[in-house]
Each structure stands twice: as structure tokens, then as C-alpha cells.
Amino acid sequence: MPNADNVDPTDARILLELAAHPRAATVAVADRVGIARNTAQARLARLERNGAVGPFERRVSPRALGYPLKAFVTAQVTQRKLDDVAAALAAVPEILEVDGVSGSTDLLIQVVAANADDLYRIAGQILAVPGVERTNTALVMRQLVDYRITPLLHRLTERPDGGGRTAP
């Protein structure tokens, strides 16, 4: 097996099979990929351990839970308080993800809300966190491309060297 941290073409075929048939048993995945069940099971365990396969919760739609609005909040923070800010933001259930970014803002915060008033409340909670200096909220009007990873997996399985993206 190549570098344990990288997804190789066989791993990519396993992941594509799971993307196409998320409820498939390991034995069915192994059969479709053309490898032994124990090999498939060991590879899946390694992918989970290394974080290549994310948590199931990413597949649950916030809309189905009563949160049809999605917004991105950018925030400027006091750098020395960044860890405290992150911990406070993690305590807000409607915050799905927080990324540290480069540029004129420090954080990109993905939030969901039940309605406009709820979004206003959440944005106020973010702004009230000690260390958050300024925020800007952008409401998602329509998602144009859903989250996807299968095009990258297909690319990996098609490359003769099994490598990722090549330099231009």
C-alpha cells in the first residue's frame, strides 16, 4: 500500500463505490471493486482513521432539521483570542463550520437558520463573542453546485500514476 495518508486509485474506487451505493456492505464493495473483503475492510478503516472519510453527519440536510436558510459570516478577530473565539463559536449549534482564511477577514463561518429573525439572532451571537471585532453576513440565495468529491475520485482512478492534480 502506498503512503498511508494518501488516497490511491484502489481507495478511490472504493470511495466511488460507496458514493454510488452508500448502504453497501463491505463485502459488496469489495466484490464490485475486485478486491478481497479483508483488504476493503482494512482500507476503509485506514481511510476513516486518517480522516479521508468524513463523518456521516455531513450527509444530513439542515433543511430537513428545520433550518432552510444558509449564510456565510465573515469575521475579523483579535488574533491572540482566536482559540477562545473558535471555542465560543463551536458552542453555537447553528454554526456548521468555521475556517480560518487569508485576506481581509480572519474567519469564514457557515451558519444555518430557521428564518431571517433567527439568522439575525445568530449573527448577533457571533458578534457578541469576545474577540470578534467585526462581522459581515451573506445569505445564500441558491446553491449552484452541490458539495461533491466524485470528480476528484474519478480523476484519481484515471491517472496512470495514481497521482492527484498535475501542475499546469
Can you state the angle between helices 9-20 and 26-33, rounded to 10 degrees? Answer: 120
Residue 96 phi, psi (nearest 5): -85, -35
Strands 69-77 and 95-100: unpaired
The answer to whether the pTM exceeds 0.85 is no
Q: Dump pLDDT digits (tens) for 65-114.
A: 999 999 999 999 999 999 999 999 999 999 999 999 999 999 999 999 99
Instruction: Assign 108 to helix, strand or coil.
Output: strand
What is the distance between the alpha carbons of residues 42 and 39, in angstroms, rounded to a whole number?
A: 5
Q: What sign results for the dihedral spanned by CA atoms 94, 97, 100, 102?
A: negative
| 163 alpha carbon, distance to own chain's centre | 22
DSSP state of 70: E
Q: Dump pLDDT digits (tens) for 11-30.
A: 999 999 988 998 899 999 99
Q: Dump pLDDT digits (tens) for 107-145.
A: 999 999 999 999 999 999 999 999 999 999 999 999 999
Q: Which fold has domain 9-57?
A: Arc Repressor Mutant, subunit A (1.10.10)
Task: Please report, for the chain, the start and end positions of each structural domain, with discontinuous segments joined by +.
Answer: 9-57, 62-139
What pLDDT, on a 0 to 100 scale, did the predictor assign at position 52? 84
Say if CB 85 and CB 107 are below 8 A apart.
yes
Q: Which of 62, 162, 165, 163 is nearest to 122 (CA)?
A: 62
Which residues lie below 8 Å from residue 27, measured CB to CB, with a gap of 6+? Answer: 37, 40
What pLDDT, on a 0 to 100 scale, did the predictor assign at position 23? 87
Q: Give, in words, the CATH class of 62-139.
A: alpha beta
